[in-house]
Amino acid sequence: MINPFDDIYFMKRALQEAQLAFEKNEVPIGAVIVMNNQIIARAHNLTETLNDVTAHAEMQAFTAAADFLGGKYLKECTLYVTLEPCQMCAGASYWTQIGKIVYGASEEKRGFLVMNTTLHPKTKVIGGVLEEDCSKLLTRFFIEKRNLN
Amino acid sequence: MINPFDDIYFMKRALQEAQLAFEKNEVPIGAVIVMNNQIIARAHNLTETLNDVTAHAEMQAFTAAADFLGGKYLKECTLYVTLEPCQMCAGASYWTQIGKIVYGASEEKRGFLVMNTTLHPKTKVIGGVLEEDCSKLLTRFFIEKRNLN
């Protein structure tokens, strides 16, 4: 039997969040947090809207998921995020003890991999899910931004 | 002429915040952000109260300072925090481009130094200001916690 609720399914939901960010003139990054095949938190980058560098999609999703669950730890959860997390978000994920992180596009300059950020030892990582779609949205955003200036 | 508004003065204010955390049964860590000798943000750890691992004193202080200034960047500011920041908070400081970080006690297990977190190239760091006072408050908290269990 096929499982329609696979990583691609949930990454598409994260991409919908990224699209919402795009429409607000925010760097288009989206995230969802999933537990038992259910989305328990959705968020998109709001750093410009909120004037706050800590308002990355992942940070808001961690806060929302913990609020939903009534507990700080996300051991049974998976974070889907359209761009590889930065060291702040990866550092936050360490404290949540999240079970899995699935990201789309790589961030070769400021991503947690090149920055050598330590994840929680129990956190699994999968990269490159719908990488092209996630990347394309970001590229389109920056091209449009550049053309406006 | 002496300058009464030195690092010790502002670290004492951060310690007052840590004391507020202590009284709420939170791990006692406090922070203030200073610009031109004025405190523009005060915060203390609220991870238990808010059920949110991202509610470290530093994170809240960054958000509050940016809100106060109406801009995301804290280039002219100094963060005073009673404990060496973790990789999440140091990662957040990278995005704020904060001018200086002054911390009290060292965090030898999960501090940004041992974790090799990358700070913004323009961020200066001073550690060990009122180290003993900052440490003592943390030790007292954990001893009282242990005795209660």
Going from the N-terminus, what domains does chain A have, and what CATH number goes with each?
78-148 (3.40.140.10)
Of the candidates B82, B94, B140, B68, the residue with the CA atom closest to the CA atom of residue A91: B94
Q: Per-residue confidence at A102, pLDDT binned at 50, 70, 90?
A: very high
Contacts by residues B44-50 (CB-CB < 8 Å, ≥ 24 positions apart): B44/B17, B44/B18, B44/B20, B45/B18, B45/B21, B46/B21, B47/A72, B48/B24, B49/B24
Q: Which residues of B touch A92 (CB under 8 A)?
A: 53-54, 88
pLDDT at A68: 97
pLDDT at A5: 86
The whole-angstrom separation of Cα A60 and Cα A67 is 10
> Residue A32 carries which DSSP code?
E
Q: What mean pLDDT is reported for chain B?
A: 96
Asked if the model's pLDDT at residue A131 lies above 90, the reply is: yes
Q: Each residue of A106-127: pLDDT tens digit? A: 999 999 999 999 999 999 999 9
Bridging pattern class, strands B78-83 and A38-44: unpaired
φ, ψ (nearest 5 deg) of residue A94 = -55, -45
pLDDT at A78: 98
Q: Is the CB of residue B47 less than 8 Å away from at least one CB of chain A?
A: yes
User: A51–B62: do the CB atoms touch at under 8 Å?
Assistant: no
Q: Per-residue confidence at A26, pLDDT binned at 50, 70, 90?
A: very high
Interface of B with A in 91-110 (CB under 8 A): 91-92, 94-96
The whole-angstrom separation of Cα A138 and Cα A22 is 9
The answer to whether the annotation marks A44 as part of a ligand binding site is: no
Q: Each residue of A42-85: pLDDT tens digit? A: 999 999 999 999 999 999 999 999 999 999 999 999 999 999 99
The residue type of B52 is: D
Q: Which residues of B touch A118 (CB under 8 A)?
A: 87, 115
The whole-angstrom separation of Cα A104 and Cα A94 is 19
User: B63–A52: do the CB atoms touch at under 8 Å?
Assistant: yes
Q: Each residue of B64-91: pLDDT tens digit? A: 999 999 999 999 999 999 999 999 999 9
pLDDT at A3: 80
With contact defined as beta carbons under 8 Å apart, do B99 and B125 qualify?
Answer: no
User: A94–B72: do the CB atoms touch at under 8 Å?
Assistant: no
The whole-angstrom separation of Cα A52 and Cα B73 is 9
Mean pLDDT confidence for B42-63: 98
